[in-house]
Amino acid sequence: MSFADLAIVGAGPVGLAAAYEARRLGLSAVLLEARRPVASLEGFPARMTFFSEARKIEVGGVPLATVGAKPCREEALAYYRALAERLPFPVLTRARVERVEGSFGAMRVVYQGPEGAGEVWARATVVATGYFFNPRRLGVPGEELPFVQYGYRDALDHWLERVLVVGGSNSAVEAALDLMRAGARVTLVHRGEGVRSGVKYWLRPDFENRVREGAIEALYRHRVVAFEPGRALLQGPEGERTLAIDRAVVLIGYRADDAVLWASGVRYRGDAPEFSEHFETSVPGLFVVGSAGYGSATGSVFIENGREHARIAVTEVARRLS
């Protein structure tokens, strides 16, 4: 058992931002991470480049050096993990937090670790659990089949495969382009009239040109109604159709990974927790930062503004402790 001013649940970029803010303000802290620091980045496509410039995802005033104009997955992984190693606080890995008990001043954080149950005591708790490990599901028959996956690791693994990409946002469009360039035969299915209006300005023309030349097939106003071995059943404007596929990559967004908040008795409005201007939930002393506090509206929260949530929340903790 350990005691600190602040317990931080989640060691992704926003959790690390909270830890570095705590260090700056002279608070002691403990980080609890269910996997490894920034484990979500491990699951990103191997050659992924961030949409954001390096300066917008930096933490603790430490520069993020990049070879190109924007950081790639490997650069970000190395950067954030170096930050985790440099912290003067304990970082408990493989510590899956189950619930937080108590209120501001005396909070018990209960977790399961490699050696069984454990606990951390803190004066306040910040939850920064993100969303990457909680993808939205289609909810259709057959989605548990092994060829259906939510996200993908390396497009080169799918050379010459018939790949169905489901979704119409940035991640789906980028995946379709990446897979096509790796030699896959790609069909993108989206229920809208076209890809979403928020698709990045440099991705949209590239994708539309690939569709126009026939390198990618786009089926708009279609949705998947079931998967069966070797095929997807679709519903479109002209009725049902069957698409023979080797792989389905489903990228329809994520939902906040907020099981800790539910288990801790936080009050919700709809599918998102209520919180104050300082990101404090209805449980005094329990704060939520980053996308963990936004239910299904995770598309509005990024590392850039999640860092600001962390700064505001930890500053409020420091003010009250002083």
CATH code of the domain containing 204: 3.50.50.60
Query: How far is residue 14 from each of residues 18, 67, 143, 194, measured CA to CA in Å?
Result: 6, 23, 31, 33
The domain boundary, picked from 214, 229, 250, lies at 250
Rounded Cα gap, residues 305 and 310, in angstroms? 9
> Which residues have CB under 8 Å from 298's CB, separation 6+?
131, 253, 254, 255, 256, 291
Query: Does residue 200 sit within a domain?
Result: yes
Residues 224 and 266 both lie in one domain: no
Confidence at residue 1, expressed as pLDDT on a 0 to 100 scale: 64
Query: Does residue 76 sit within a domain?
Result: yes
Residues 265 and 199 both lie in one domain: no
* Residue 136 φ then ψ, to 5°: -65, 145
The domain boundary, picked from 201, 233, 250, lies at 250
Residues 245 and 259 both lie in one domain: no
> Which residues have CB under 8 Å from 276's CB, separation 6+?
none
Query: Does residue 48 sit within a domain?
Result: yes
Check if the beta carbon of residue 174 is closer than 8 Å to that of residue 196. no
Confidence at residue 218, expressed as pLDDT on a 0 to 100 scale: 98
Confidence at residue 49, expressed as pLDDT on a 0 to 100 scale: 87
Residues 234 and 104 both lie in one domain: no
Regions of the chain short of the pLDDT cut 50: none
Query: What's the number of domains the chain is made of?
Result: 2
Quick: pLDDT tens for 149-204: 998 889 999 999 999 999 999 999 999 999 999 999 999 999 999 999 989 888 99
* Residue 209 φ then ψ, to 5°: -70, -35
Residues 6 and 129 both lie in one domain: yes
Chain centre distance of CA 222: 26
Check if the beta carbon of residue 33 is closer than 8 Å to that of residue 52. no
Q: Is the dihedral of CA 96, 81, 13, 123 positive or negative?
A: positive
Quick: pLDDT tens for 279-310: 999 999 999 999 999 999 998 899 999 999 99
Confidence at residue 47, expressed as pLDDT on a 0 to 100 scale: 83
Burial 142-170 (b: 16+ CB within 10 A, else e): bbeeebbebebeebeebeebbbbbbbbbb
Residues 11 and 103 both lie in one domain: yes
Q: Which of 250, 178, 248, 177 is closest to 208 using CA atoms?
A: 177
Query: Does residue 7 sit within a domain?
Result: yes
Check if the beta carbon of residue 292 is closer than 8 Å to that of residue 2. no
Residues 49 and 20 both lie in one domain: yes
Confidence at residue 210, expressed as pLDDT on a 0 to 100 scale: 98
Residues 106 and 12 both lie in one domain: yes
The domain boundary, picked from 198, 217, 250, lies at 250
Structural domain boundaries enclosing 170: 148-250
Check if the beta carbon of residue 253 is closer than 8 Å to that of residue 298. yes
Residues 244 and 268 both lie in one domain: no
